[in-house]
Chains A and B, each alone.
Chain A
């Protein structure tokens, strides 16, 4: 249900009892709003549990915390002369406050709308910050350029002069290595391969690969395809745009709306063809499942949200994945011991324990949970020069726990968490689907591997 049609007060009696004249609801705020966030503001009882879960407020003295950004700012805004406070741009959109709130206040939805309003009303469209954020948020529009000439792009991006220029001209930190482009994107591979190897119209999934698995880590996307085909699924790869996650985080709601419109249309069509949607990136699935219905109401938004799954979760619920993994073993030095970090956006979907539970079934693989701290990078957040230090302070706990774990490789399901893990520890970072591939399909799958 989109918030545009959510009743403002769940305690209001139904029509019949209202007719009895027992209770007449009063409209406290006169203006009719496009998105009514009043229930969220009313439900907040100021316990501040969200504030104690905010990784930014713990280290950044300029950030007033989610309770202010959400319900309190919403109330302040009832006065016409209040602008959204610029500190909203310090929120990293990790969404931990959502699962913290004991009162179901839709904090990240309030932050997303406040940030969108701030960028729309208060940020100069010619400012370096706006241009930089727009560029970071629209990675999908730039990535094809890099992917077209991957070797040149990787070479140029690795040059210290490029990084220096990036920081001086754009405000992108020079501390980080930009992610390398794959020499062949997942979609190129898919086309060359001739699409699905399994055809079964009664057993279909539509794969939302997102940008990163397409341009940067096609091995993750290929692993997904091979694992699903092993279970007899026909894999569809519909047209798709960015999930919108980096756009929400940068307050670029119009960009997000355009991407979401395409995604909802294409994914709804795949659902009509009998597919369920699966995603390999935890932020992509989060965005489609939660943020789309909170922020948009295209036809099919709710249907797409309800039928979208995390790729591993889907197999666990629809196949006897546990039995398959219990029979499997992996004998590969690359997949022996991992320090596992559950991304915030996976935690919010109730997936925090899933990876450890499943991997402990596989003979030859050990994964150690490094705890519930945030990695600190939160998508584009940690790429900004002004956030780099905060991002690394937040990540410190995770780095320490990774160093303490009995492993020298990392494991996670979020592309930017994996960048942060690699940046902070120097470990190579794997995606869970790659281990499932090694366990269920084998590490040298047929001649099609490139």
Chain B
């Protein structure tokens, strides 16, 4: 029996930062029906929650004070070069509008310096409000509080690292047992839940609310520092209340130090984005993959570039066609599996878009781990409106644009540009899709 396609105007494939931004931008530009299809959970849960634009140049110069100065000089083919500096600025203001007070840093072009859980200082353009009182450029002394059962953040070591890096204040680290946490491998969501719900926990002086118990445990080590930093586990749904209560009982500013995966600031950003998607009327289909596509002859006679007619979503064996006028591919890079590699080659698995790479796989990497790794730049090569190009430099499809880490030509880990590229390219791909979809 013939199956009817589920119809939308713009269909975004991929539910991470780039995909969510693209869907929101398309809806914002007036598209009637926008759908976002996402398979597994995005790499936002691996992410620090910081929004980097550019921390270092591709040649390794940095940390950069003003990323926008460096954007002018990026090499041909870098995603920022493709979309242009104005689009990066527009995209950042669009992001600022979505997240509102939950993020800070929009008041300046300059990078902020955020202490990380490893005791390094990271240049970044936007940071969660929860992290704001912790900036390294602030000269107030700080106490870092580590937790025995969260070994990723060794507070005394991080404090020593920060002091060695030349921060303009005294920094001290202590480690304590987290009241109410009984197992060594408790999940970050367990810590957050205890504090969100202020569950009753056992302390040496009897039962107490989790927030109060944590304050009491810190107070034993507290020497009147004006600010106290915790690993980023201070609540999820009610994070502002948790931080506020801790600050009140300690009499100090409280901030979070961004952590590695799995990351609550990443989870919170994801929640902000999905709330915004719901408010914007974007339809979200999650848990199922796009597994293929069909081209149509709607491109008009004589045009050599094909159009995608519909994509096929696999719902546990049932193949559901989804048709839209414009498509955005935001499936991530090698980690997010928007780009896949095996012994034979490197490929983009849904549409088979070209991923430039050396034929010999021993040329995909260099021996110096922190050297210029070719694989880190693997991805699609787009035109200026982000349509992936084939080997002849023609768009692979007339109505497909790509955003985020599925694009090549940049090394986000070395440059500290991952979130910025996702937002800028997502914004451009979504806005452009909306403009041409009528």
Q: Which residues of A contact B (CB under 8 A)?
A: 10-11, 13, 23, 47-49, 51-54, 57-59, 61-62, 64-65, 68, 98-104, 286, 289-290, 293, 302, 305-309, 313, 316-320, 347-353, 357, 369, 372, 396-397
Q: Are B1 and A11 in contact (CB under 8 A)?
A: no
B45 within 8 A of A: yes
Q: Can you give 17 contacting A-B residue pairs, CB < 8 Å?
A: A49-B45, A51-B187, A52-B267, A58-B187, A58-B193, A59-B190, A59-B193, A61-B190, A102-B42, A104-B40, A289-B317, A290-B316, A305-B317, A306-B318, A313-B320, A319-B4, A320-B4
Q: How large is the interface on B (under 10, 10 to 19, 20 to 34, 35 or more residues)?
A: 35 or more
Cα separation A372 to B283 with both chains bound (whole Å): 14
Q: Are A52 and B189 in contact (CB under 8 A)?
A: yes
Q: Are B287 and A352 in contact (CB under 8 A)?
A: yes
From known contacts A317-B320, A348-B287, infer whether A52 and B262 are also in contact, taking CB-CB under 8 Å: yes
Q: Which residues of B contact A (CB under 8 A)?
A: 1, 3-4, 6, 40-43, 45-46, 181-183, 185-190, 192-193, 197, 237, 261-262, 267, 274, 278, 283-288, 313, 315-318, 320-321, 335-337, 342-344
Q: Are B190 and A57 in contact (CB under 8 A)?
A: yes
Cα separation A51 to B188 with both chains bound (whole Å): 9
Cα separation A103 to B41 with both chains bound (whole Å): 10
Q: Are B189 and A58 in contact (CB under 8 A)?
A: yes
Q: A317-B318, A349-B315 are in contact. List 18 more A-B contacts (CB 8 A).
A: A10-B342, A47-B45, A47-B262, A51-B262, A52-B188, A52-B262, A68-B185, A98-B287, A286-B316, A309-B318, A313-B318, A316-B6, A317-B3, A318-B1, A320-B4, A350-B287, A352-B284, A357-B283
From known contacts A53-B41, A306-B318, A397-B237, infer whether A48 and B187 are also in contact, taking CB-CB under 8 Å: yes
Chain B nearest CB, measured from A65 CB (Å): 6
Chain B nearest CB, measured from A112 CB (Å): 16
Q: Are B46 and A47 in contact (CB under 8 A)?
A: yes
Chain A nearest CB, measured from B49 CB (Å): 13
Residue of A nearest to B42 (CB): A102
Chain B nearest CB, measured from A307 CB (Å): 8
Q: Are B316 and A305 in contact (CB under 8 A)?
A: yes
From known contacts A47-B262, A48-B261, A64-B183, infer whether A353 and B283 are also in contact, taking CB-CB under 8 Å: yes
Q: Are B262 and A65 in contact (CB under 8 A)?
A: no
Chain A residues near B320 (CB, 8 Å)? Answer: 313, 317, 350
Q: Are B342 and A11 in contact (CB under 8 A)?
A: yes
Q: Are A51 and B40 in contact (CB under 8 A)?
A: no
Q: Are A61 and B318 in contact (CB under 8 A)?
A: no
Chain B residues near A313 (CB, 8 Å)? Answer: 315, 318, 320
Chain B residues near A99 (CB, 8 Å)? Answer: 40-41, 286-287
Cα separation A441 to B313 with both chains bound (whole Å): 30
B186: which of A61, A293, A396 is its contact (CB, 8 Å)? A61
Chain A nearest CB, measured from B13 CB (Å): 13
Cα separation A65 to B186 with both chains bound (whole Å): 9
Q: Are B187 and A350 in contact (CB under 8 A)?
A: no
Cα separation A62 to B41 with both chains bound (whole Å): 25
Chain B residues near A351 (CB, 8 Å)? Answer: 315
Chain B nearest CB, measured from A276 CB (Å): 8
Chain B residues near A48 (CB, 8 Å)? Answer: 187, 261-262
Q: Are B278 and A369 in contact (CB under 8 A)?
A: yes
Q: Are B342 and A57 in contact (CB under 8 A)?
A: no
Q: Are B190 and A318 in contact (CB under 8 A)?
A: no
A58: which of B190, B261, B274, B284 is its contact (CB, 8 Å)? B190
Chain A nearest CB, measured from B330 CB (Å): 14
B183: which of A58, A61, A319, A353 is its contact (CB, 8 Å)? A61
Chain A residues near B4 (CB, 8 Å)? Answer: 316-320
Cα separation A317 to B315 with both chains bound (whole Å): 12
Chain A residues near B189 (CB, 8 Å)? Answer: 51-52, 54, 57-58
Chain B residues near A316 (CB, 8 Å)? Answer: 4, 6
Chain B nearest CB, measured from A350 CB (Å): 3
Residue of A nearest to B264 (CB): A52
A353: which of B1, B42, B285, B321 is its contact (CB, 8 Å)? B285
Chain A residues near B188 (CB, 8 Å)? Answer: 52
Chain B nearest CB, measured from A368 CB (Å): 11
Chain B residues near A62 (CB, 8 Å)? Answer: 183
Q: Are A350 and B45 in contact (CB under 8 A)?
A: no
Chain B residues near A103 (CB, 8 Å)? Answer: 40, 337
From known contacts A47-B45, A397-B237, infer whether A289 and B316 are also in contact, taking CB-CB under 8 Å: yes
Chain B residues near A290 (CB, 8 Å)? Answer: 316
Q: Are A352 and B285 in contact (CB under 8 A)?
A: yes
Cα separation A262 to B219 with both chains bound (whole Å): 64
B317: which of A11, A53, A306, A357 is its contact (CB, 8 Å)? A306
From known contacts A47-B261, A52-B187, A319-B4, infer whether A350 and B285 are also in contact, taking CB-CB under 8 Å: yes
A347: which of B278, B287, B343 is its contact (CB, 8 Å)? B287
Chain A residues near B287 (CB, 8 Å)? Answer: 98-99, 347-350, 352
Q: Are A13 and B343 in contact (CB under 8 A)?
A: yes
Chain B residues near A58 (CB, 8 Å)? Answer: 187, 189-190, 192-193
Chain B nearest CB, measured from A62 CB (Å): 8
Q: Are B337 and A102 in contact (CB under 8 A)?
A: yes
Q: Are A102 and B190 in contact (CB under 8 A)?
A: no
Cα separation A397 to B197 with both chains bound (whole Å): 10
Cα separation A320 to B4 with both chains bound (whole Å): 8
Cα separation A307 to B318 with both chains bound (whole Å): 7
Cα separation A229 to B274 with both chains bound (whole Å): 38
Chain B nearest CB, measured from A413 CB (Å): 15
Cα separation A353 to B313 with both chains bound (whole Å): 15
Cα separation A154 to B165 with both chains bound (whole Å): 72
Chain B nearest CB, measured from A205 CB (Å): 11
Chain B residues near A100 (CB, 8 Å)? Answer: 40-41
Chain B residues near A57 (CB, 8 Å)? Answer: 186-187, 189-190
Q: Are B288 and A349 in contact (CB under 8 A)?
A: yes
Cα separation A396 to B344 with both chains bound (whole Å): 50
Chain A nearest CB, measured from B343 CB (Å): 6
Chain B residues near A317 (CB, 8 Å)? Answer: 3-4, 6, 318, 320-321
Cα separation A70 to B285 with both chains bound (whole Å): 26
Find the residue from B6, B182, B190 having the highest chain A CB count within 10 A.
B190
Residue of B nearest to A321 (CB): B4
Chain A nearest CB, measured from B303 CB (Å): 30
Chain A residues near B42 (CB, 8 Å)? Answer: 102
Cα separation A440 to B318 with both chains bound (whole Å): 25
Chain B residues near A10 (CB, 8 Å)? Answer: 342
Chain A residues near B193 (CB, 8 Å)? Answer: 58-59
Chain B residues near A51 (CB, 8 Å)? Answer: 187, 189, 262
Find the residue from B181, B183, B286 having the highest chain A CB count within 10 A.
B286
Cα separation A60 to B35 with both chains bound (whole Å): 36
Cα separation A286 to B318 with both chains bound (whole Å): 12
Chain B residues near A349 (CB, 8 Å)? Answer: 287-288, 315-316
Chain A nearest CB, measured from B40 CB (Å): 5
Cα separation A352 to B278 with both chains bound (whole Å): 12
Q: Are B288 and A11 in contact (CB under 8 A)?
A: no
Residue of A nearest to B337 (CB): A102
Chain A residues near B41 (CB, 8 Å)? Answer: 49, 53, 99-102
Chain A residues near B192 (CB, 8 Å)? Answer: 58
Q: Are A101 and B40 in contact (CB under 8 A)?
A: yes
Q: Are B343 and A11 in contact (CB under 8 A)?
A: yes
Chain A residues near B336 (CB, 8 Å)? Answer: 102
Q: Are A318 and B317 in contact (CB under 8 A)?
A: no
Residue of A nearest to B278 (CB): A369
Chain A residues near B342 (CB, 8 Å)? Answer: 10-11
Chain B residues near A353 (CB, 8 Å)? Answer: 283-286
Cα separation A103 to B274 with both chains bound (whole Å): 22
Chain A nearest CB, measured from B358 CB (Å): 18
Q: Are A347 and B286 in contact (CB under 8 A)?
A: yes
Cα separation A61 to B193 with both chains bound (whole Å): 12
